[in-house]
Structure 1
Amino acid sequence: MTREIYVVAHKFRPDAQQSAAMMADQLESHGFTVRKSGPVGDAEMVVVLGGDGTILSAAELTRGTEIPIVGINYGHVGFLAEVEPEGLPRVVEQITERQWTLDRRMTIDIEVMLPDGSRATSWTLNEAALDKHGQPMIEVSLGVDGRGVSSFACDSVLMATPTGSTAYTFSAGGPVVWPDVEAMLLVPVAAHALFTRPLVVGPNSELQVVLDSDGAKLVCDGRRELPVAAGSIISARKSDYPVYLARLNDTPFSGRLVKKFDLPVRGFRDRGRP
């Protein structure tokens, strides 16, 4: 049976495009069928050459499937990527030999109930960001499981996954959550109130944000915008559809965190190891 690989490359990075063409040639020489457009179909893996934004676009293609994504970093931090460009030849070998493990990443379903009773829905792998748009601030009320928690004015409110905890919410001062923890984060940004701490809730909870003013926009993963207006209720729940990342090495999340953010660990002593 012919094995299929779907390849996605950053549209505006010539080096990523060139590497994608080279990788396609190598895969085809190993008997693979390589596809670069259309639905993912029966592909056994999606290979992404780009940054985290390109990986997020690939997650749209695999939504609702168990097809894993492996990222080769042609971006900046590339937190979701598995290897740097120089590791590309080894990636071809590992794909050919099926040498990878699956990393299951939780996603969140987002629903907006507008004042006229209509509804709009989307989902997010990183975060849903309710940002000010054309106004100095937005007014919001926050709730968890149908009970009010706090109200204030702010620049933004972020509803995020553990995967998203190293993205926008990280810049906003939210906690870093290990990706195998099933939880949702609610992080206010530049809020004018006493109780504005980030919240972390379990996978069976529901987050709500009521937009009490106009002048806001709601964007999921920086890609999918939903309509909002004063009086809208935004809800976030754990989704039934995770995203699967292919892991090509056994580096723990702590190691990835240190490497991607270049964290200083000089004083650390790993007891029990030589």
Structure 2
Amino acid sequence: MTRRVLILAHTGREESMIAALEACVQLHASNIVPVMFAEELADMTGYLGVSDVSMEILGRDVTLADIELVMVLGGDGTILRAAELVREHDLPLLGVNLGHVGFLAESERADLIQTVDWVVRREYSVEERMTLDVKVRVKGKVVAHTWALNEVALEKGNRERMIEVVTEVDGRPLSSFGCDGVVMATPTGSTAYAFSAGGPVVWPEVEALLMVPISAHALFAKPLVVAPTSTLAVEVLTRNGAYGVIWCDGRRTVDLLPGARIEVTRSSQPVKLARTQQSPFSERLVRKFELPVQGWRGPGTEEPPPTTQLPIIKSPKPKTQLGGPPTGPMPQLPDLTATALPHGDAATESLEGAWPRHD
């Protein structure tokens, strides 16, 4: 059976086109047919010259049903564009980062030859990443229905005015406030827009939904992490007349008038990402953000001893035992009732008798 790999490249960048040509040449030499879109192939050959590599055109020679894997050469934006293409066809994506951070990419440009070799030998695994199902309602009617891999971001539509919103979790209102927007994200998107807005970094293996306010003018407007079975919702209030706009993965957009409502749940259709390296997510986090880890020693190699029996600290007891209520007759207290004082010398004598002297 003929193996085919679809190559998706950002043909507006020279480096991406050069990388695409290198991948096509290496795949062809390994008896794997490279496939490209007609427009991207024309851009690549028009810029780099005609290639001797035999390639097929998607939509003319083959369909997505004939593809084994999609190699994406570019940044996270290119990978998100590829996810739109293959999500409904159950195809895995393998990203080679040619951008800046590139959290969705599996390898870097310098590792392209090794990555293609892993593809040739089928030395890759496939993992599923949860996606969001997004509905926009106006007066109870669904006016837009879309999805997102990273996040759906509600943003204010006019720069000079905050948008007023009320947030909701599982059908119950949580809080209302003015803000620049609200991000609802997946764990995959926790290192994207939600991260920039101050949200937590969530490991991809964790199944959860995130809600992160953007520049909220409120005392309680903290990032939330809820169950994957929960329903998140944000309503655009009408009290200041500000309108909003939502962006799904920064690519699909819907304008929101005051009174509109966005509902976000977990989608039943994930996106598949191919993995060639089984390094933990923490290692990727350190590498992508160039985090300082100097001085780390690790847990050691020897077997840990049994659980140590530590002393239990008890609450101290009072030195004297507190008795019950006093018994017997109460002691007589002096009469502190204020009385009129005499005037003149009599007053002086009275005070001298009342207070001790220190001659």
Is 1:108 aligned to 2:132, yes or no? yes
Match of 1:178 in 2: 203
* 1:70-111 residue CA offsets vs partner (Å, 9 max, x unmatched): 111110011111111111111121111100011211101000
Greater relative CO, 1 or 2 (CA 8 Å, sep 6+):
1
* 1:100-148 residue CA offsets vs partner (Å, 9 max, x unmatched): 0112111010000023734211111101010112142101000011100
More moved, 92-101 vs 115-124 = 115-124
AA in 1 matched with 2:176: S
Match of 1:24 in 2: 24
Aligned-CA RMSD value: 1.4
Classify the secondary structure of the residue corresponding to 1:67: coil
Match of 1:202 in 2: 227
AA in 2 matched with 1:89: I
Distance 1:103 1:116, change over 3 A: closer
AA in 1 matched with 2:13: R
* 1:58-80 residue CA offsets vs partner (Å, 9 max, x unmatched): 10111123311111111001111
1:85 to 92, 96, 109: 109
Shift of 1:256: 0.2
In 1: Cα distance, 2:11 partner to 2:173 partner: 44
In 1: Cα distance, 2:142 partner to 2:264 partner: 17
Match of 1:98 in 2: 122
Which protein is bigger by CA-based radius of gyration? 2
In 1: Cα distance, 2:301 partner to 2:210 partner: 34
In 2: Cα distance, 1:10 partner to 1:215 partner: 34
Match of 1:3 in 2: 3
Q: Is the 8 A contact 1:207 1:237 kept in 2?
A: yes
AA in 1 matched with 2:247: V
Is 1:271 aligned to 2:296, yes or no? no
1:43 to 67, 80, 91: 67
1:123 to 135, 138, 147: 147
2:264 to 236, 242, 247: 236
In 2: Cα distance, 1:26 partner to 1:72 partner: 15
AA in 1 matched with 2:101: V
In 1: Cα distance, 2:259 partner to 2:294 partner: 51
Classify the secondary structure of the residue corresponding to 1:227: strand
In 1: Cα distance, 2:297 partner to 2:162 partner: 45
More moved, 35-44 vs 169-178 = 35-44
In 1: Cα distance, 2:253 partner to 2:164 partner: 19
Classify the secondary structure of the residue corresponding to 1:245: strand
In 2: Cα distance, 1:228 partner to 1:40 partner: 35
Task: Report the TM-score, using the length of structure 2 for normalisation.
Answer: 0.74
AA in 2 matched with 1:253: F
Shift of 1:266: 1.9
Unaligned runs of 5+ in 1: none
Task: Report the TM-score, using the length of structure 1 for normalisation.
Answer: 0.96
AA in 2 matched with 1:243: V
Shift of 1:273: 4.5
Classify the secondary structure of the residue corresponding to 1:186: strand
Runs of 4+ in 1 over 3 A off after TM superposition: none
Q: Is the 8 A contact 1:40 1:61 kept in 2?
A: no
* 1:214-267 residue CA offsets vs partner (Å, 9 max, x unmatched): 331101000011232111110000011111111111110000000000111224
Shift of 1:17: 0.8
In 2: Cα distance, 1:27 partner to 1:201 partner: 43
Classify the secondary structure of the residue corresponding to 1:22: helix
Q: Is the 8 A contact 1:110 1:121 kept in 2?
A: yes
Say which structure is richer in strand. 1
In 1: Cα distance, 2:137 partner to 2:105 partner: 35
In 1: Cα distance, 2:182 partner to 2:208 partner: 17
Classify the secondary structure of the residue corresponding to 2:64: coil
Shift of 1:7: 0.6
In 1: Cα distance, 2:82 partner to 2:271 partner: 10
Q: Is the 8 A contact 1:51 1:75 kept in 2?
A: yes
AA in 1 matched with 2:79: I
Distance 1:116 1:251, change over 3 A: closer
AA in 2 matched with 1:175: P
